[in-house]
Amino acid sequence: MTQHSDLLIVGAGILGLSHAYAAARRGLKVKVFERSATPLGASVRNFGQALVTGQPPGAMLDLARQSRAIWGHWAQVAGLQLKRNGAYLFARTEAEEHLLEAFCAERAQEHGYNVELLQGAAMRDLYGGQFRHHRAALHGRDDQQLYSREALPALIRYLREHLNVEFHFSTLVRDVEPGLLHSTAGSFRGEQIIVCCGHDYQTLLAEALAELHPSICRLQMLRARPALNLNLQHALLTGLSCVHYGAFADLPEAAAVQAQILREAPHLHEHGIHLLISPTPYGELIIGDSHDYGLDASPFNGEQVDNWMLELAEQTLGCGIQVVERWQGVYGARGPGPFSFVRAAPGVSAALMHTGVGMSVGPALGERNVAALWGEA
Ligand SMILES: Cc1cc2nc3c(=O)[nH]c(=O)nc-3n(C[C@H](O)[C@H](O)[C@H](O)COP(=O)(O)OP(=O)(O)OC[C@H]3O[C@@H](n4cnc5c(N)ncnc54)[C@H](O)[C@@H]3O)c2cc1C
């Protein structure tokens, strides 16, 4: 049994690290336990888009704005690369353009979204005309872009070296109980324990997590090299994302976008395909994604799904692309809300995402949950 800590955290994904940061910056003594030798979960398999624009007004928008500031701070102190130019969401059709116009005319103004709608000459001039085959582009100026597979290790280094967070990698946590955590590296005492286990609902607190009726979402992802040197500095989305993201999906104009997808490209709806493109720091692109919901993640990737995504990406970019890497990512989905903070027992809680925006809101969730546990107003 080792010496006492203030906070023990299970999981070194973005939620675990965000809670670790929130506690350590308050001067608390923190230990993090991760079963793999380096984080390999959703937090390194994603697009690294820290999106503010796509969030619905209310709690998610507030959390995304707060998270944006935290990412900005981490970029400075932890030396992680963060693109702060925003994202472009392209309207390919008249229905998509109407939806973006409606969003800018009302919701964006009412809730202070930091956006600009590029049309006409502004659209044609973007990236030297590379995207002129689109009708319009919504520039979400607050959206940020990271390279997650490098950002998480950089954040871990910072937490370890500057905030004295102790990490135990290659360590499975087998059980937690009030004040005690039992792992393959022994047992540890802590005033508070927070389980940030991603979509593993069975190893720890299984009964409490089962009450949330969570499921998972499995996504196919690609890294690719464009045939042209685009020097892309913005994350890219298309109108397809508007029927998924809460900022747009409930606007009356979204119905026409959805109807057009069902009429003209039902396979995109069937496989939950909506195109996201993230530039890496090395001139490559992360491209996805598809959405396959269930209780478990099928290991079998559909080649046709990759082909549809590649076709969409080539249409959007206006150039050919060559795939250099393929993988699948899984995130927790469809719980009672976009996220949960479960108080399972005195001093034992779980922080979980139930939708695919943990990079966008996770940093602020860590702040919120740690403040609540330590009785701050
Ligand atoms: C393909 C894909 C694309 C995405 N794109 C975006 C995006 O662009 N923007 C965005 O905001 N969000 C995105 N998301 C969602 C986002 O990545 C997730 O919401 C977020 O990473 C969840 O973080 P987490 O810490 O809860 O889970 P994870 O990152 O999965 O971390 C959980 C960790 O806990 C560890 N663990 C679990 N149980 C134990 C145990 N018993 N003992 C020890 N360790 C344990 C696991 O090994 C794992 O490392 C995407 C997700 C995916 C899969």
Domain ranges for the chain, please list them: 5-44+149-212+336-373, 87-141+215-333
Alpha-carbon distance of 359 to 71, in angstroms, equals 9
Which protein residue has the closest C-alpha to ligand 1 atom 2? 46
CATH superfamily of 87-141+215-333: D-Amino Acid Oxidase, subunit A, domain 2 (3.30.9.10)
Q: How confident is the model at residue 3 (pLDDT cuts 50, 70, 90)?
A: confident
Alpha-carbon distance of 251 to 103, in angstroms, equals 8
Alpha-carbon distance of 56 to 63, in angstroms, equals 11
pLDDT of residue 312: 97
pLDDT of residue 1: 61
Ligand 1 closest atom vs CA 203: 41
> Region 36-54: what's the mean pLDDT?
98
**Average pLDDT of every residue of the chain:** 97
| Ligand 1 site-directed mutation target among 32, 43, 146, most atoms within 8 Å of CB | 43
Q: How confident is the model at residue 316 (pLDDT cuts 50, 70, 90)?
A: very high
Q: Percent helix, strand and coil across the chain, each rounded to 5?
A: 35, 30, 35
Alpha-carbon distance of 104 to 112, in angstroms, equals 10
Handedness of CA 61, 62, 67, 68 (dihedral sign): positive
pLDDT in tens, 144-163: 999 999 999 999 999 999 99
Q: How confident is the model at residue 234 (pLDDT cuts 50, 70, 90)?
A: very high
Instruction: Give residue 43 CA to ligand 1 midpoint distance, Å.
Output: 4
Instruction: Give residue 316 CA to ligand 1 midpoint distance, Å.
Output: 28
Which protein residue has the closest C-alpha to ligand 1 atom 16? 358
| pLDDT over threshold 90, residue 277 | yes
| pLDDT over threshold 80, residue 377 | no
Which protein residue has the closest C-alpha to ligand 1 atom 18? 358
Task: Please give the helix or strand (H or E) that residue 53 lies within, else none.
Answer: none
Q: Find the residues whose C-beta lies inside 6 A of ligand 1.
A: 10-16, 33-36, 39, 41-43, 45-49, 172-173, 196-198, 200, 203-204, 219, 221, 289, 329-331, 353, 356-360
For residue 201, CA distances in Å to 30, 206, 274 come to: 23, 6, 27
**pLDDT above 70 as % of the chain:** 99
Instruction: Give residue 331 CA to ligand 1 midpoint distance, Å.
Output: 6
* Long-range contacts (CB closer than 8 Å, 24 or more residues apart) made by 313-318: 313/224, 313/275, 313/277, 313/285, 313/287, 315/92, 316/90, 316/92, 316/131, 316/134, 316/236, 316/238, 316/275, 316/277, 317/130, 317/226, 317/228, 317/230, 317/236, 317/277, 317/285, 318/130, 318/131, 318/133
| Ligand 1 site-directed mutation target among 8, 143, 182, 200, most atoms within 8 Å of CB | 200
pLDDT of residue 2: 62
pLDDT in tens, 198-214: 999 999 999 999 999 99
Shared fold status for 5-44+149-212+336-373 and 87-141+215-333: no
pLDDT in tens, 83-141: 999 999 999 999 999 999 999 999 999 999 999 999 999 999 999 999 999 999 999 99
pLDDT of residue 358: 98
pLDDT of residue 239: 94
> Region 217-238: what's the mean pLDDT?
96
Instruction: Give residue 76 CA to ligand 1 midpoint distance, Å.
Output: 23
Answer whether 298's CB lies under 8 Å from 261's CB. no
Instruction: Give residue 40 CA to ligand 1 midpoint distance, Å.
Output: 8
| The two structure tokens encoding residue 104 | 């800018």
Pick the CATH number of 5-44+149-212+336-373 from 3.50.50.60, 3.60.110.10, 3.90.1150.10, 3.40.50.150: 3.50.50.60
Instruction: Give residue 348 CA to ligand 1 midpoint distance, Å.
Output: 20
